[in-house]
Amino acid sequence: MNTGIADTHNLAWKLAFVLNHGVSDSLLDTYYEERAPIAKRNIEWSTENAKRFFDIHKAIHAGDHETLKIKLHEQQKNLNYEGLDLGFIYHSNAVISENNQALSVSPSKYMPTTLPGARAPYVKLLKDNEPISTLDLFEKNFVLLIGSKGEPWRIAASELAQTLSFPLIVYSVGANGDLINPENTWHRIYEINSEGCVLVRPDGHVAWRSPSIMENPKNELARAFNITLNIFPIDLNKFVSTQ
């Protein structure tokens, strides 16, 4: 069931962007690219779980207490596999993988990361003095999270939004930002410095990131959308100033 819900979550925003925002239907091809490996892995894991339950049932009826003890201990895997549930990373044309991208995903341990394709990590925040989390920010729009000194990214997003056919939401995180992180953990967990940014898809997975400021933020952000959505070649001359 969880796999089916995640499948729907992955597909729904892509359908919406194709039908409502003129995005190329090639975006829909990434549904299979992203979800098929996850579904295959989950089926294999569920099969193993079913076998463990069968072995437990068999040991109980046979009065085999030693085997029962072993199988019950093994069953902990079914309950303590956060990495399997939260740590998967998508690989498709809808994310911009990094050249040195490599992360050994442990099925039993979830390691928060903003590697493109990963689930954007949970961080506690304050918005207008009300407690929220990063996960509350990702619903139906692309969200650009910028560091406390990342205003060039906001300017770039504002100009790019005039060209895009869909909203691009920007939040700065910092003491004087749109969002405040009282625990001061956001930059560390999101793996960027105060001038960096992370672009998150409507399904809460990272599409692209820049750990620090780049020479031309407008250019880089435009290229990120060109690659991940294949909407159309954005005419950079319309809004990108040469430097």
- The pLDDT assigned to 86 comes to 87
Alpha helices in the chain (DSSP H): 2-21, 29-62, 65-74, 82-86, 151-161, 186-189, 217-229
- Output the CA torsion 32→9→92→140 (10° steps): 140
- The mean pLDDT value for 182-195 works out to 96
Contact yes or no for 114/192 (Cβ under 8 A): yes
- Residue 239 pLDDT: 45
pLDDT digit string, tens, across residues 167-179: 999 999 999 999 9
- Which structure tokens are listed for 122? 């949970």
Backbone dihedral angles phi then psi of residue 132, each to the nearest 5 degrees? -140, -175
Widest Cα–Cα separation across the chain: 77
- Report the distance separating Cα 162 and Cα 140, nearest Å: 19
Helix (H/G/I), strand (E/B), else coil: 33? helix
C-alpha angle with apex 79: 73 to 80, nearest 5 degrees?
A: 90
Count the Cβ atoms, other than its own, within 10 Å of residue 79: 7
Cβ-contact 197, 147 below 8 angstroms: yes
pLDDT digits (tens, 9 = 90+) for 87-129: 899 999 999 998 766 566 677 788 999 999 999 999 999 999 9
Amino acid present at 24: S
Q: Where are the beta strands (DSSP E) in 111-178?
A: 124-127, 130-133, 142-146, 168-172
pLDDT computed for residue 125 by the predictor = 98
Residues composing the chain: 243
Instruction: Give tens-digit pLDDT for 41-94.
Output: 888 888 887 887 787 888 888 888 888 888 777 777 666 778 778 889 999 999
CB neighbours of 180 closer than 8 A, spacing ≥ 6? Answer: 125, 126, 127, 173, 174
Confidence check: pLDDT of 240 > 50: no
**Residue 85 CB partners (closer than 8 Å, separation 6+):** 2, 110
| DSSP annotation of 207 | E
